[in-house]
Amino acid sequence: GSDIVEGGAGNDYIYAGTGDDIIDGDDSDAGTPNGASDTLDFTKVLINDDTGDTRVVSAETYNGGDFTGIEIDLSDTSSQRIHEQFGTDTISNIENVIGTGKADYIKGNDSDNLIEGRSGNDYLIGLDGADTFKGGDGQDTIDFSDGSQNVVVDMTKEQTIGDDASYRVQNDGYGNKEYIDGVEHIITGSGNDTVYG
Question: Would you state the pLDDT for residue 1?
Answer: 46
Question: Would you state the pLDDT for residue 133?
Answer: 98
What is the pTM (predicted TM-score) of this model? 0.81
Higher pLDDT, 191 or 45: 191
CA distance 80 to 65: 23
**At 84, is the pLDDT very low, low, confident or very high (cuts 50, 70, 90)?**
confident
Higher pLDDT, 143 or 12: 143
Check whether 5 has a pLDDT greater than 50.
Answer: no
Question: Would you state the pLDDT for residue 40?
Answer: 86
**pLDDT, tens only, 18-68:** 554 455 555 544 443 334 578 888 887 655 555 555 445 555 555 545 667
Question: Would you state the pLDDT for residue 14?
Answer: 58
CA distance 183 to 112: 18
The residue type of 156 is: T
Question: What 3-state DSSP class applies to 181?
Answer: strand
**pLDDT, tens only, 128-166:** 999 999 999 999 999 999 999 999 999 999 999 999 999
